[in-house]
Structure 1
Amino acid sequence: MKLYGYYRSSTSYRLRIALNLKGLDYDIEPVNLLKSEQRGDAFRARNPFAGVPMLEASGRDRAQSMAILEWLDEAHPARPLLPADIEDRYICRELAMAIATELHAPLNLPVLKYLTNELEQDKEAVGIWYRHWLEKTLVPLEQRLEQLETGDFLFDRPGLFEAVLLPQVYNARRFDYDFAASPRITAIEEACLALPAFIAAHPDNQPDTPEKEKVL
């Protein structure tokens, strides 16, 4: 398998975590989003969505990270990302989809570029925008985790939810989101960041990570 992605792309990050958790071998092919390499003719011919990640696997190019996560569990059932119980699977999907559907769209790079370039918003204004949408979803997410009385992970071990959560927390910290009222989220973050699968997937440890950012 070959994963086309960008070191700081949250969706690429979630795929790296999932592949590592499942113990699958893959190569990384960097795609520089800042240089718009994903919009080049050669890449777009393979992935009309012109975005990352793209996973080359089983004879085809696969786009859209949440669909790829589900495919990975079906194609490679060992070390499942989703729990066996149907209600637990629902909870996992509910929380992961809240992040993927409510946060990724308003906070991804094209939107931030549009705010800065076309709407001429400064860094402070973009930060306010970013934290507004984070709060809208992360506050109820924390409440749901409290209802579930979670510990280190959503269930007994990390899976699909943690693979989606950790990249969003990473981005939230880049934009100075205050996690003081999010003890459940930060407990999961701390537990995950101690595991080899998450360490290897971290943006600081990728082949396209700028040297000045390699701190882990």
Structure 2
Amino acid sequence: MHGKLADVAGYAAAIRQAPPHADLLVCPPFTLLDRFGSALAGSAVALGAQDCAPCPQGAHTGDVSAAMLREAGAQYVILGHSERRENHGETNADVAAKVEAAIAAGLTPIVCAGETEAQRDSGDAEAVVRSQLIHSLPQNFSGVVAYEPVWAIGTGRTPTEGDVTAMHAAIRAVLLRHLGEAGAGVKILYGGSVKPSNAATLLALPEVGGALVGGASLRAEDLLAIAAGAPCG
């Protein structure tokens, strides 16, 4: 819930200068989607939304359908973010329904999973993430997965390199078991206090296929610095 219409032109002009080896996606609030779509037209920067409704249309006041997002220019949509799960009580079943709706509308879903600090401290981190993915991803899943340790979001804290590597390996194993051969092609992003100072290290870890950037994305120069840390090739 950041950004105003007046901010779009300058931000979009800046991120159009992203290094060519990095795939960049911006997911603004619903009210800015159309303006961002126009400002980024003709660039390599993709456009996504932060959520969608599970229903294609109907009497659902306040909801925005995946088809509406697609019409507004979105190509991707973030689903199951920890803030949606916590603040809106979204269950794995809710997320799975939204994933189905996104795929049906031609959007690429980015499905988030992650543990709280208490769950990590109790040794249940991998089990929690495994359960979230198994119950949030339908068998026809085609999209992206993002691991976001809840306790690291916006706190400045990040897991150790070993923790990230272990969790991403566990996620890959879940994807292969749950989706079969298709699970090998699902990109796994890391999200949790990603910033210019740690991006290159995190993005170089095994099975880390990109970053889901929150607070650091509010400044175009920080987002570009993170993109610059993406491995080439």
Same fold (TM over 0.5): no
TM-score tier, shorter chain, comes to 0.3 to 0.5
**Structure having greater relative contact order (Cα 8 Å, sep ≥ 6):** 1
**What is the TM-score with the length of structure 2 in the denominator?**
0.32
Higher helix share: 1
**What is the TM-score with the length of structure 1 in the denominator?**
0.33
